[in-house]
Amino acid sequence: MKKVLCGILVTILSVITFCLAYDYRDTKSPNNYYKVYLNDEVIGVIQSKSKLEKFIDAEGESIKKKYGVDTVYAPEGLIMEELTSYNQEVSEVSKVYRTIISKADLTIEGYQISLKSGDDIKHIYVTEEDIFKTAVIDLIKTYVGSDRYKLYDTNSQAEILDTGKIIENIYVQNDITIKKMRIPVSKKIFSSASSLSKYLLYGDNANTKEYVVKVGDTISSVSLENEISTEEFLIANTSFTDKSNLLHVGETVTIAVPNPQIQVVVEEYQVVDKESAYQVEERYDDEMNIGTTKVIQEGVNGIIRVSQNVQSINGSITYIEPIDRVEVKQPISKIVLIGNHKIPHIGDLNNWAWPTMSGYTITDDFEWRTNPITGAREHHSGIDISGLGYGAPIYAANNGTIEVERYKGDYGYYILINHNNGYWTLYGHMSRFAADVDEGDIVQKGQLIGYIGSTGWATGPHLHFEVWKNCEHCRINPFSLY
């Protein structure tokens, strides 16, 4: 009997021991959680992935309103990794959210526009792809005018009968790539075409001011006073179409220096009538004293019809290819009697010759501009005479002595003439010098001294023409002589 009782007792104790040793947790089902990482750093464990996403979206109402989007997203680099556990300590969603925004920016869906120019890459961010396309078109209209762009875009430009201009091509020179992505809200994000077009024209530092027109003001004088070019004035004030337009006293105009973020190229075919400057025929009279002159026939300008291909980048002419020249009206020479047949080395203060043939275009005046080579703001030291083609002749503007004939980095091949009357003239970017002129030579007004080129700092073939008065490098506007 005792043996039976002992057996029963042992059995009962074994059962109790087994039950005590068994881990009751193994009888429960495991739960799913999400471990939250931000850039590989663990910032918490949450029960619901969707709950955190909804919380982030709900907290981003101000962001939605600012950019006009429907959803705000977590930062790039946020990962929620699913894990399974029986007993896991979890974080409050609000606490995880506060940690996230303290370490990274929330994001919205949009597009990254990458603009490549040479080795430089610039990124622009927009909420909609069409915002960039519309802004570029608005920028093009700034350069060519809304009406001209519409005619070009609809293939409705009128055929040139006598004179006129036709836009043949418009394109952006930069390499452009567009990528859809989630953009951190700390980036500069454009949600309207108007704000982006202003940025594309002026960049981040759009320092604009207003100017009230005074008595005697012209577009040229206002531009010079405010250290901008006339082209820059016209870009900032689109109601004016030409620098010859009149300003009205009390009228308010905008002064701004463009800083284009993209390069808009416009290619045009032009047929234009240009004045053909009359020649001055000098006849020497031994009965007249040296240094005296007498006009016996006044000159009359003629007209040359010039056809040419013109390329502009961001509103500034960069290249002119001459196609044809037709004389519409022949000029009549001015005839001047000059005392003493000997060629004087002193230039006549009252009669200056134009340094090129007719049919030219002035691509840069004696005014403020952005240097097309260095990108620096500067006052242009002379005028640029273009449109005559590579190798066109260059003439001495007056009698004088060739003081310099050499190559210099910025001027390229250039000649400096001392007219021995308080004036010097400089001729830059030559392709070569005339064979019969050298330093120290006395040259006569209208004498061939070289040929147009693009040596030195030049974007295309043209003559850079400077006038100095009373001292070397005391530059004045060349047009003051004519």
Residue with tokens 């002595």: 401
Write the secondary structure of 118-132 as one string of H (helix), E (strand) and C (coil): CCEEEEEEECCHHHH
Residue with tokens 């044809």: 324
What are the Cα distances from residue 69, in Å, to 72, 113, 144? 8, 18, 34
Asked if the model's pLDDT at residue 269 lies above 80, the reply is yes
Q: Provide the CA 284 distance to its chain's centre, in angstroms.
A: 52
Task: Give the pLDDT confidence score for residue 21 in this predicted structure.
Answer: 45
Q: Do residues 322 and 306 touch, judged by C-beta distance below 8 A?
A: yes
The CATH H-level superfamily of 264-481 is Glucose Permease (Domain IIA) (2.70.70.10)
Closest CA to 184 of 123, 98, 130: 123
Distance, in Å, from the CA atom of 478 to the CA atom of 470, rounded to the nearest integer, reads 14
Q: Which two tokens stand for residue 413?
A: 């091949």
Task: Give the pLDDT confidence score for residue 127 in this predicted structure.
Answer: 96
Q: What percent of the chain has pLDDT over 70?
A: 93
The average pLDDT across 459-475 equals 94
Q: Do residues 449 and 443 touch, judged by C-beta distance below 8 A?
A: yes
**115-159+171-255 and 264-481: identical CATH topology:** no
Asked if the model's pLDDT at residue 7 lies above 80, the reply is no
**3-state SS, residue 343:** coil
* Stronger pLDDT, 359 or 21, i.e. the higher one: 359
Task: Give the pLDDT confidence score for residue 87 in this predicted structure.
Answer: 77
The average pLDDT across 51-63 equals 93
The residue type of 307 is: S
Closest CA to 196 of 239, 251, 260, 102: 260
Least confident of 7-21, 122-136, 175-189, 455-469: 7-21
Task: Give the pLDDT confidence score for residue 456 in this predicted structure.
Answer: 96
* Stronger pLDDT, 146 or 111, i.e. the higher one: 111
Task: Give the pLDDT confidence score for residue 22 in this predicted structure.
Answer: 42
The average pLDDT across 238-255 equals 92
Instruction: Give the domain 115-159+171-255 fold.
Output: Membrane-bound Lytic Murein Transglycosylase D; Chain A (3.10.350)
Least confident of 102-116, 255-269, 285-299, 446-460: 285-299
The average pLDDT across 229-238 equals 87
Task: Give the pLDDT confidence score for residue 238 in this predicted structure.
Answer: 84
The average pLDDT across 236-258 equals 91
Task: Give the pLDDT confidence score for residue 11 in this predicted structure.
Answer: 55
pTM: 0.77
In tens, the pLDDT along 169-181 reads: 999 999 999 999 9
Task: Give the pLDDT confidence score for residue 344 in this predicted structure.
Answer: 80
Q: Do residues 144 and 152 touch, judged by C-beta distance below 8 A?
A: yes
Asked if the model's pLDDT at residue 20 lies above 50, the reply is no
Task: Give the pLDDT confidence score for residue 19 in this predicted structure.
Answer: 45
Task: Give the pLDDT confidence score for residue 24 in this predicted structure.
Answer: 40
In tens, the pLDDT along 65-92 reads: 999 999 999 999 999 999 888 877 889 9
Q: What is the DSSP string of 271-315?
A: EEEEEEPPPEEEEEETTSPTT-EEEEE--B-EEEEEEEEEEEETT
Write down the domain spans for the chain.
Answer: 22-104, 115-159+171-255, 264-481
Q: Provide the CA 270 distance to its chain's centre, in angstroms.
A: 23
Q: Provide the CA 271 distance to its chain's centre, in angstroms.
A: 27
Residue with tokens 């003051």: 480
- The H or E element spanning position 418 is strand 412-418
Distance, in Å, from the CA atom of 433 to the CA atom of 435, rounded to the nearest integer, reads 6
The average pLDDT across 409-431 equals 97
CA atoms within 13 A on the CB side of 426: 26
**3-state SS, residue 150:** helix
Asked if the model's pLDDT at residue 18 lies above 50, the reply is no
Asked if the model's pLDDT at residue 320 lies above 60, the reply is yes
Task: Give the pLDDT confidence score for residue 207 in this predicted structure.
Answer: 75
In tens, the pLDDT along 351-410 reads: 999 999 999 999 999 999 999 898 899 999 999 999 999 999 999 999 999 999 999 999
* Stronger pLDDT, 433 or 17, i.e. the higher one: 433
Round to the nearest angstrom and report the end-to-end CA distance of the chain: 144
Residues in Cβ contact with 282 at an 8 Å cutoff, skipping those fewer than 6 apart: 336, 338, 445
Asked if the model's pLDDT at residue 189 lies above 50, the reply is yes
Task: Give the pLDDT confidence score for residue 31 in this predicted structure.
Answer: 87
For the chain, the average pLDDT equals: 90
What sign does the dihedral 162-320-364-386 (CA atoms) show?
A: negative
The average pLDDT across 278-293 equals 82
